[in-house]
Amino acid sequence: MVTETRRAEVLPWITTAARIVLAAILFWAGWAKVTEPPALQKQAVEAYQLLPASLTGLVGYGLPVLEIVLAVLLLVGFATRFVAIISAVLMAVFIGGIASAWARGLSIDCGCFGGGGAVAKGQTKYLSEIIRDVVFLALAVWIARFPRSRASVDGLLGI
Amino acid sequence: MSKATRDRTAREKLAEERRLQAQRDKQKRMLGAVGAAAAVIVVVVGVFVFVNSNRDKAEDFVGALAPTSRASDGSIVMAKAGVTSPVLEVFEDFQCPACKNLEKTSGNTFKQLAADGKAKVVYRPFRLFQQTPLKENSERAANAALCAPGDNWVPFHDKIYAEQPPEGKVGFSNSDLISWAAGLSTPITGDAFTQCVNGAEKSAQVQAMTDYALKVGKVESTPTVKLDGKDITNDAFVPSDLKKAVADAG
């Protein structure tokens, strides 16, 4: 029983920490992109050669601000499980996109934290980019699995 | 059934009812929060996408191009007679996708600013790329652009961008460059041009322009746009911001 109580006390704090870390990462990633010229945000998406031209603009402009909004929602802890699930899906999409670029032999920067586009052969960092995103995915999955946390709007609302 | 038992059952029922009600309320609040979060995401992202996709829309170019000529250092000056400032310099590499994007987004705005006498535009193409095959593509395109006459240069410049090969692919072959020049509305033809392209006759000047961009211009990436020497590349990608920067400088 003692361990059960301890678990119930500690888990929400772990989720709070995960929320803050994931929020910081998402905010940083979104901010780095959103402050670049719109045409370059689009170009980072085009470099993956996955989407039709009609969609690259939508993703190029929309993705950075989506990351920022998710970051803010995670930070305040509102609709935590829902937001964590979206974040997890987003990370899974990123991992898939990078893996696909790698598999097709493209030489691009993932553009995860701004930049993006082609790089010289041998300058790619696909493996480390994927490992990094898997860690972020794990954070999101943790939050989705244990959404109750301290210092959250959800807590105030009694959710 | 005794009265005591009946009472207890009734109390239990009531408690159970309350518990269920609390659970339903909690569920309602949770759904409300999810709905609110989803709405925030959709609205903020939607508004932002809408605003941005308008911001980087290319403008129309109306009228005739301002006169263009080649300066001794190989750069192309596009300005109305007598307009000497502000100076809007475009450092670019024909193989660079961001340069193509700049051209697509703001190319017409550069032309309009020059045609309206609001700025002196200087194109400074050079070879940024150092790795094969990009380097060779850049080199051939920059050489051909230097072979083209200064007074009929801009249409060729635009055509080269329109034909930019995907990164990592070999492109800008000399024979293509020659046939694109011949296909312009005012064609660029003749043995001198053909020989200049095929013989890479301007390669020394391509190198000189590259040195100028990197060492004098301190250009680190392409495109770099400078307004009276100040880097305004981020503004240049948004036509309205570009016009405002020029107006403020003038």
Same domain, B88 and B26: no
The yes-or-no verdict on residue A122 having pLDDT over 80 is no
What pLDDT score was predicted for residue B87?
Answer: 96
Chain B neighbors of A61, CB-CB under 8 A: 48-49, 52-53
Q: What is the CATH number of the domain that holds B86?
A: 3.40.30.10
Q: What is the mean pLDDT of residues B162-191?
A: 91
**A2-44 tens-digit pLDDT:** 577 788 889 999 999 999 999 999 999 999 998 888 888 888 9
B60 in any annotated domain: no
**B239, B225 Cβ separation under 8 angstroms:** no
* Total domain count, chain A: 1
Q: Look up the pTM and report it.
A: 0.79
Same domain, B139 and B209: yes
* SS3 call for B116: coil
The size of the A-B interface in CB pairs under 8 A is: 93
- Selected residue of B48, B54, B134 to mutate for chain A interface (largest A Cβ count, 10 A): B48
pLDDT class of B169 with cuts at 50, 70, 90: confident
What pLDDT score was predicted for residue A1?
Answer: 53
Nearest to B237 by CA among B228, B247, B245, B229: B245
What residue spans of B76-184 are helical by DSSP H?
97-115, 134-147, 154-162, 174-182
What pLDDT score was predicted for residue B159?
Answer: 96
Same domain, B113 and B201: yes
What pLDDT score was predicted for residue B1?
Answer: 62
Same domain, B43 and B95: no
Same domain, B167 and B81: yes
Of B32, B55, B78, the residue that ends a domain is B55
A69/B40 Cβ within 8 A? yes
CA distance B230 to B219: 11
Same domain, B50 and B94: no
Chain B neighbors of A144, CB-CB under 8 A: none
Chain B neighbors of A65, CB-CB under 8 A: 44-45, 48-49
Cβ-defined contacts of B212-218 (< 8 Å, 24+): B212/B73, B212/B124, B212/B126, B213/B91, B213/B124, B213/B126, B213/B128, B214/B126, B217/B89, B217/B91, B217/B124
B122 in any annotated domain: yes
What pLDDT score was predicted for residue A4?
Answer: 75
* SS3 call for B140: helix
- Selected residue of A82, A85, A107, A149 to mutate for chain B interface (largest B Cβ count, 10 A): A82
**Percent of all residues in chain B with a pLDDT value above 70, rounded to a whole number:** 100
What is the widest separation between alpha-carbon atoms in chain A?
59
| Per-residue CA distances from A114 to A28, A33, A153, B43 (Å) | 9, 4, 30, 23
- Does residue B223 have a cis peptide bond before it, meaning omega lies within 30 degrees of 0? yes
What pLDDT score was predicted for residue B134?
Answer: 79
B62 in any annotated domain: no
B37/A83 Cβ within 8 A? yes
**AA letter at A115:** G
**B199-239 tens-digit pLDDT:** 999 999 999 999 999 999 998 888 999 999 999 998 999 99
The whole-chain average pLDDT of chain A stands at: 91
Strand partners, B125: B92
B61 in any annotated domain: no
What ipTM describes this predicted complex?
A: 0.90
Strand partners, B227: B88, B230
Chain B neighbors of A57, CB-CB under 8 A: 49, 53
Burial of A10 (0-12, 13-18, 19+ CB in 10 A): exposed
CA distance B231 to B118: 18
In DSSP notation, chain A reads -HHHHHHHHHHHHHHHHHHHHHHHHHHHHHHHHHTS-HHHHHHHHHTT--S-HHHHHHHHHHHHHHHHHHHHHHHHTSSHHHHHHHHHHHHHHHHHHHHHHHHTT--EE--BTB--EE--TT---HHHHHHHHHHHHHHHHHHHHS---SS-HHHHHT-
Name the residue range of residue B40's domain: 1-55
CA closest to A85 among chain B residues = B34
A158 in any annotated domain: no
Same domain, B77 and B171: yes
Same domain, B51 and B72: no
The yes-or-no verdict on residue B94 having pLDDT over 90 is yes
* Total domain count, chain B: 2
A159 in any annotated domain: no
A126 in any annotated domain: yes
Q: b/e map of B81-102 (b: 16 or more CB within 10 Å)?
A: eebeebbbbbbbbbbbbbbbbb
A17 in any annotated domain: yes
B97/A46 Cβ within 8 A? yes
- State the nearest Cα–Cα gap between B210 and chain A, in angstroms: 19
Name the residue range of residue A70's domain: 4-152
Chain A neighbors of B49, CB-CB under 8 A: 57-58, 61-62, 65
**A71-95 tens-digit pLDDT:** 999 999 999 999 999 999 999 999 9
Q: What is the mean pLDDT of residues B116-144?
A: 90
